[in-house]
Structure 1
Amino acid sequence: MQLLPIHTPLLREGDDLVSILTENAEFEDGDILALSSKAIATVEGSAIALEDIDVSEEAEFLSEHCGKTPALRQAMLNETQRLHGKVVGKCKHAVLTELKPDGLKEGTIMAASAGLDQSNIPAGFTIGWPMDPVVSVGQLRKALKDVTGKDIALLITDSCCRPRRIGVTAIALVVSGFDPLEDMRGKKDLFGREMTMTQEARADQLATAANIIMGNTDASIPAVIIRDHAIPFSDFEGWVPGIEPEEDL
């Protein structure tokens, strides 16, 4: 499998992302394009100006006990509400939210600060996911097909943390063009035992592989082409399914 970085100029609100990508990369049929959620949110104009935010007592409390400014904590609370979520955990450095965005049919998404952060964005702003990632991924895939003539699948990524582990990896928020899970149930292992539970999170695995190339600082690589992956394309388009809380560990 090949991971091919796409270097771009600094992205700004209103930029034509498809033109920028196709000017800086050569695509082939069967490619999977991993795109940073923050890159899409940036060009779509989803950055949040912190000076425009009215701060609540809850935000003041979270700021005092979990760090970050009251305005940033209020932005997180606003985003949590927009994504039909709730605060489920907190420590002196972070706040954990559980989100159920429109269109997510199975499970919820656990995310620090409702997906908001302040990296790779001008001072005084914060940014999270695109307003509707499913719409974004569908429009981008169609536009790439129109411009390149190639059949390219897409996944939108975001960095994430893991329980009891240091460091970030990545997850796939939404996918267009391939099944995000590979169901191994019913298949046999090396000793002939039938698998009964395993589903491989291949969209998340691809997101993490791409995130190694993208980096989280000043690399200016918001997209990675995944080639020679042997993953069949499908009609799937939407949020990557999750697990319902009552069924989770």
Structure 2
Amino acid sequence: MKITIFPLRNFPLINPGDSLTEIIVEELRKIDLQNRDIIVIAHTILSKSENKVYDLNLITPSPFALQIGRMQGKDPRKIEVILRESSEIIRMNEKVLITATHHGFICANSGIDKSNTPGDTVISLPDDPDFSARQIRDEIKEKLHKNVAVIISDTFGRPLRVGTVNFAIGLAGINSLEDIRGKTDLFGYELRSTIIARVDEVAAAAGIVMGQADEGTPVIIVRGVDYSINDNSARELIREPENDVFR
């Protein structure tokens, strides 16, 4: 298997209200897009296009946000946005605030992002990244006549590991999980518990090229991955609370 990963170069800056789907389609016209390519999109440009941008100057922090801000030495206005975008606080101390988002993702600060956004603004996660991924995929199929998969990604930290990794938070046209239980290994042992988070593997690989600083490459093409076509949800990657021994 040969896998190729490359960015859409010179991708334009996205502003609130821009039609990201139309922009992506026009940029894809410039390359030799192929069937079964996987398009990995940084959530920040999707969130911007969907007006998921908070101006901190317009945020009035609650007493609880003020309390956390004092404890952590952080801007209570940003804390307020984190709380608004969360459904539950999982862990909190003087340094970190781990929450569950309304989607069910468990991450630091509800995924609120300050990078690559100007002034006193922050970006939150898209409301429904699966839906947005399907819209982009459908538009590509209609306008460019290519059957591709789409992954919306964000970088999360990991329990018991240092460093962040790109994860899938939305998807279309690709199975979120590859269940290979029942297959055998090189020595004939039957696999009994192996379920592969294929879309997270693809998102992480794309993250190497995408970068997280000033690279300016928020859309990545991954070519050559063998995957199953499906229209399920990235939420299937979330472990149920009753099976989560770390929560």
TM-score by length of 2: 0.91
The alpha carbon displacement at 1:43 in A equals 1.3
Instruction: Tell whether the 8 Å contact from 2:176 to 2:234 is kept in structure 1 after alignment.
Output: no
**How big is the alpha-carbon RMSD for the aligned residues of Structure 1 and Structure 2?**
1.6
CA distance in 1, matches of 2:233, 2:163: 29
CA distance in 1, matches of 2:232, 2:128: 16
Q: Indicate how the Cα distance of structure 1 residues 144 and 187 shifts in structure 2: closer, same or farther if over 3 A, else same.
A: same
Mark the runs of 5 or more structure 1 residues left unpaired by the alignment.
102-107
* 1:161 maps to 2:152: no
The alpha carbon displacement at 1:200 in A equals 0.6
The alpha carbon displacement at 1:150 in A equals 0.7
Instruction: Tell whether the 8 Å contact from 2:82 to 2:112 is kept in structure 1 after alignment.
Output: yes
Aligned residue pairs total: 239
The alpha carbon displacement at 1:164 in A equals 2.7
| Further displaced range: 3-12 or 148-157 | 3-12
Q: Which residue of 2 aligns with 1:13?
A: 16
CA distance in 2, matches of 1:67, 1:208: 31
The alpha carbon displacement at 1:238 in A equals 5.3
Q: Which residue of 2 aligns with 1:65?
A: 71
Instruction: Tell whether the 8 Å contact from 1:176 to 1:235 is kept in structure 2 after alignment.
Output: yes
Instruction: Tell whether the 8 Å contact from 1:177 to 1:235 is kept in structure 2 after alignment.
Output: yes
CA deviation string 1:79-115 (max 9, x = no partner): 11xxxx21111233321002352xxxxxx42111111
Instruction: Tell whether the 8 Å contact from 1:95 to 1:113 is kept in structure 2 after alignment.
Output: yes
CA deviation string 1:1-56 (max 9, x = no partner): 11111131221122232333234342211111011111101112110111111211
Instruction: Tell whether the 8 Å contact from 1:96 to 1:110 is kept in structure 2 after alignment.
Output: yes
Percent identical residues: 31
Mark the runs of 5 or more structure 2 residues left unpaired by the alignment.
none
Q: Which residue of 2 aligns with 1:218?
A: 214
Describe how 1:1-249 pairs up with structure 2 within 5 A.
Answer: 1-7=3-9, 8-25=11-28, 26=31, 27-80=33-86, 85-101=87-103, 108-237=104-233, 239-249=235-245
The one-letter code sitting in structure 2 at the alignment partner of 1:51 is N
The one-letter code sitting in structure 2 at the alignment partner of 1:14 is G
Instruction: Tell whether the 8 Å contact from 1:185 to 1:197 is kept in structure 2 after alignment.
Output: yes
CA distance in 1, matches of 2:105, 2:127: 16
Is the partner of 1:178 in helix, strand or coil? coil
Q: Indicate how the Cα distance of structure 1 residues 246 and 165 shifts in structure 2: closer, same or farther if over 3 A, else same.
A: same
Instruction: Tell whether the 8 Å contact from 1:6 to 1:21 is kept in structure 2 after alignment.
Output: no
CA distance in 2, matches of 1:174, 1:19: 19
Q: Indicate how the Cα distance of structure 1 residues 238 and 159 shifts in structure 2: closer, same or farther if over 3 A, else same.
A: closer
CA deviation string 1:114-162 (max 9, x = no partner): 1101000111111111122122111111111122111111011000101
